[in-house]
Structure 1
């Protein structure tokens, strides 16, 4: 049975764990599942993922963050303001040291009820470049934040579904066209995207200004992508050769860069599934891969730390 979602900020929802989870081993489950939806995704489509997570990890709190088209092109300050409620939740779960009471003023009620009694265990699941852009922004927000002093970082894992891509004019126009339903707005959006893309290309060639999407790809390959991550944090790429929005070659190129950086990488390439539709095309394979990466997260962290200890 799915748990209800509570709206805690614009486009940000929280789902509490099931009341009766006595038959599940809570210590082996994530305490938080952080889900970044793809751009323009309807809530019912995203709920299909939270419902599966309710089944396989009923002890976890799910935080769902929707991605609207405007997020990708807005100012960094606007993006950070949008994600502030998610930061407050992570503070409440002990994922990092709070900056102070001021950070919780807007959403004190629902977040205070979730204060943890155990070390947090965080699973991050990002969809497409829209979700990846939000994850990258969250990484920038938390870059200077400290985590509570513990002997070892908490188990964590990151799943990148149908991302990250490198963009491109036609792909970007298609992505925004799919996210905007109104035909008039769709045409206006397409014209704006074309103008903005030309501006980005010229700014890069004339002034060396890196496009946001390239900055995003670089950020996603930082081993401290989030403050509680480490080089032993496993990452899973879920992608398809049939994806017309994000090329499988771009995903594999990013995965290879991560590998060369010493990160723990695993890839699951589907053959015929469309963009962000791998779970629908082959649900058993998809969710088995998700469960496996979390199992690896709980074991590989201990193995990696032990190996480092022996090398000292």
Structure 2
């Protein structure tokens, strides 16, 4: 399978093989982490999923600053390797396996939209929509507002205080200023104008609909994805008739909810998948 700095896959644990007929577990898990997430941090999530759903193939789609300011066409093209992997796994066939999307922070949520666009541009005419495939979304620490402060915070999150962090902060500010100037001339897209409404599309992917379960996990003390913005997005999702559940933590940091209370976090993830199975009318095997 294809592998790039942005996209790679993790096969099922030894001795476990994917079975698209087993809808009690996702057979494909697409993990879309926060901006510039480190491998050591990702291992916690990939290891946990390998434990929960050992027969699933995991696809990790990383995000960088270009995911927020590069525009949908550019970013969709960059995710062609992810589409290739999904094709090889049968996700874009007439009988796709059950699939779980887990997006984290603004970068991960943006990549959900970019992946959907990449799939539609390359494969939609050949992918009949299925109403028998369990699909679920987990949105961790976002989306919020996608303003300039979000980009600055996201780009500097992994740096300790010091000269390097200050330099990255200034770079982020310049990038955002340039993006706003180009957007004013109709030459670029602002993420808040594209990503936020885009991921609220009930038919975002060929296999999703209004009833597709969505779990939003966030915190009242998140300093990056501010809670008013996340709540506003959740409210709009509900007003559009989407199937929404919420886990609001108290006092946990940005993308830190799984560490603050692992039992609660992963219990919520398992429940949203169980809801996906129920929605599709499938019997657990």
TM range (shorter): 0.7 to 0.9
Match of residue 279, structure 2, among 285, 300, 306:
300
**Mapped pair 1:46 → 2:25:** no
**Mapped pair 1:86 → 2:82:** yes
Query: Cα gap change, 1:71/1:200 in structure 2, threshold over 3 Å: closer, same or farther?
Result: closer
Distance 1:11 1:163 in 2: 20
Distance 1:78 1:150 in 2: 26
- Matched with 1:121 is 98
Distance 2:161 2:231 in 1: 34
1:27-42 equivalences in 2 (<5 Å): 27-42=23-38
The structure that is helix-richer by fraction is 1
* Partner-residue secondary structure (3-state), 1:175: helix
Match of residue 11, structure 2, among 5, 16, 20:
16
Query: Cα gap change, 1:76/1:152 in structure 2, threshold over 3 Å: closer, same or farther?
Result: closer
Match of residue 281, structure 1, among 245, 260, 274:
260
- Matched with 1:107 is none
* Partner-residue secondary structure (3-state), 1:294: helix
- Matched with 1:310 is none
How far does the alpha carbon of each residue in 1:260-311 deviate from its partner, in whole angstroms, 9 at most, with x for none? 11110001000011000000000000000000000000001229xxxxxxxx
Query: Cα gap change, 1:298/1:261 in structure 2, threshold over 3 Å: closer, same or farther?
Result: same
Distance 1:183 1:74 in 2: 27
Any stretches of 5+ residues in structure 1 without a counterpart?
1-5, 99-117, 304-312
**Mapped pair 1:66 → 2:62:** yes
Distance 1:11 1:134 in 2: 11
Kept after mapping to 2: 8 A contact 1:95/1:148: no
**TM-score under structure 1 normalisation?**
0.79
* Partner-residue secondary structure (3-state), 2:202: coil
Any stretches of 5+ residues in structure 2 without a counterpart?
none
Distance 2:28 2:131 in 1: 18
Deviates more, 1:34-43 or 1:166-175: 166-175
The structure with more radius of gyration: 1
Kept after mapping to 2: 8 A contact 1:26/1:59: no
TM superposition shift of 1:150: 6.9
Distance 1:261 1:164 in 2: 16
Query: Cα gap change, 1:147/1:299 in structure 2, threshold over 3 Å: closer, same or farther?
Result: farther
- Matched with 1:216 is 195
**TM-score under structure 2 normalisation?**
0.86
Q: Count matched residues.
A: 278
- Matched with 1:109 is none
- Matched with 2:170 is 191
Q: Which has the higher contact order (CA 8 A, sep 6+)?
A: 2
Distance 1:68 1:21 in 2: 32
Query: Cα gap change, 1:205/1:10 in structure 2, threshold over 3 Å: closer, same or farther?
Result: closer
Q: CA RMSD for the aligned pairs?
A: 2.9
